[in-house]
Amino acid sequence: MQTFGRHLRSHWHLDDEGTFLNHGSFGACPKDVLAEQSRWRLLMERQPDSFFRYTVSPRLMNNELRVAAERLGRFVGTECERIAFVTNATEAVNTVLRSLRLKAGDEILVLDCVYNAVRLASEEVCKASGAKVVKVSLPIPLTANDVAERIADAAGAKTRLAIIDHIASPTAVVFPVAEITRALKAKGVRVLIDGAHAVGQLALDLPAIGADWYTANCHKWLYSPRGSAFLYATEEVAGQTVPLSVSHWHELKFPRAFDYVGTRDVSAFLSVPAAIDFIERFDTAKVRDYLMQLSREGVALMARLGAEPTAPDAMFAAMCTYTLPQRREAVPDDALQLMQGLWEKHKVQIASNAFQGKLLCRLSAQIYVERADVEHGVAALERHGWPGR
């Protein structure tokens, strides 16, 4: 039997009738990892006092959250003291934005493919301070060679922070973040990499990227339960990086102050080591090779519909986004209609977006997906059609 493919669906609770080609949006957590989360929850429920006062107390150097952070840190090339757990990338981005103390005239640089919630969070902090958001336009299809230069050209003396997507949500493009960071740092700009999709999907060495902050969701491509993400901060910016909710352990600072931000369920964080065990059991490098190969097969299949990738092969990993041929400009409702219709009529789940007037379709590879699933999805898309075709 092949190592990867549809037979691995038995590790997940995914609906038997569905074809799931959108792991990217919300992830999907394997049964083994959910079992580990249940084990932690049971421990919490059996003796809540012991659990919160000792097992996960930030006061104890080697509490279980720090043990989990140590394992996660090793997986992304850094140490436990650089990793704070947060619920999701949205929380991490808001945390960094709130740490800036912006003033009138300051600028936050984002890419035009920025995740909508990240754009809104940036606009909100700017509104309060008279700063403004500057968007770098990167028309699709993208080419790899001049991206870093174009982004750095848009930064200037007023740029207080650049938020750069590692893997962009609508276009699935993998940006050369180390090169971009170097170019921005040369201009004295602080950099936050939004790697919401990156951990698990790409091999990461965070110090080598060189950004001030880096965030990623463990609940997407690392297979951990939802509500588990991290914020990495260099020693230089750690002091200004404080949780959005100030609580008992505030004086412990980054990252320990993040371990307790009021009473909450931290079992998703504690299950991250089990998620790493899960991906490593399949051999992380082999998982990534398989996902890349499946993405490439998708490109050939989607070409039959006249759909073109938003960037060259070298700028994709486990997700690939296509521009669907249309007779008119796309509007956001087209994307919603397409996603809902494909699921309701064909039980095929994809991601879709309207971006730069184009209707995009994003397909996620996964180890529980095989070529036949992608063929099935593409055939359903061909039969179903899309608004404005």
Distance of CA 343 to the CA centre of its chain: 23
Give the dihedral sign, CA 336/342/345/349.
Answer: negative
> Does 310 help bind ligand PLP (rule: CB under 6 A)?
no
H or E stretch at 24 = helix 23-26
Query: For residues 33 and 31, what is the distance between their CA atoms, to the nearest angstrom?
Result: 5
Query: Using the rule CB under 6 A, which residue among 68, 196, 261, 301 binds ligand PLP?
Result: 196
| Single residue of 106, 107, 194, 259 touching ligand PLP by CB under 6 A | 194
Q: Is 339 helix (H, G, I), strand (E, B) or coil?
A: helix
Q: Tell me whether residue 196 or residue 287 sits nearer to ligand PLP (CB atom).
A: 196
Q: Is 216 helix (H, G, I), strand (E, B) or coil?
A: strand
Given candidates 36, 64, 165, 212, which one binds ligand PLP under the rule CB under 6 A?
165
User: Is residue 118 close enough to count as binding ligand PLP by CB under 6 A?
Assistant: yes
* C-alpha to C-alpha distance for 186 and 380, rounded to whole angstroms: 48
Candidate residues 29, 65, 69, 89; the one interacting with ligand PLP per rule CB under 6 A: 89
Long-range contacts of 332-341 (CB under 8 A, 24+ apart): 333/387, 334/359, 334/386, 334/387, 334/388, 335/359, 335/360, 337/387, 338/384, 338/386, 338/387, 341/384
Indicate whether 160 belongs to the interface with ligand PLP (CB under 6 A).
Answer: no
Compute the least distance from the CB of residue 25 to ligand PLP, in Å. 6
Instruction: Tell how strand 132-136 and strand 107-111 pair up.
Output: parallel
Least distance (Å) between residue 59 CB and ligand PLP: 28
Query: CB neighbours (10 Å) of residue 44?
Result: 18
Residue nearer to ligand PLP on the CB measure, 115 or 260: 115
**Residue 356: DSSP 8-state:** T
Shortest Cβ distance from residue 325 to ligand PLP (Å)? Answer: 25
The only residue of 22, 37, 63, 88 in contact with ligand PLP, by rule CB under 6 A:
88
Taking residues 212 to 251 in sequence order and writing x for each that binds ligand PLP by CB under 6 A, - otherwise, the string is: -----x----------------------------------
Q: Is 362 in the site for ligand PLP (CB under 6 A)?
A: no
- Least distance in Å: CB of 382 to ligand PLP? 27
Which parts of this chain interact with ligand PLP (CB under 6 A)?
A: 25, 88-90, 115, 117-118, 165, 169, 194, 196-197, 217
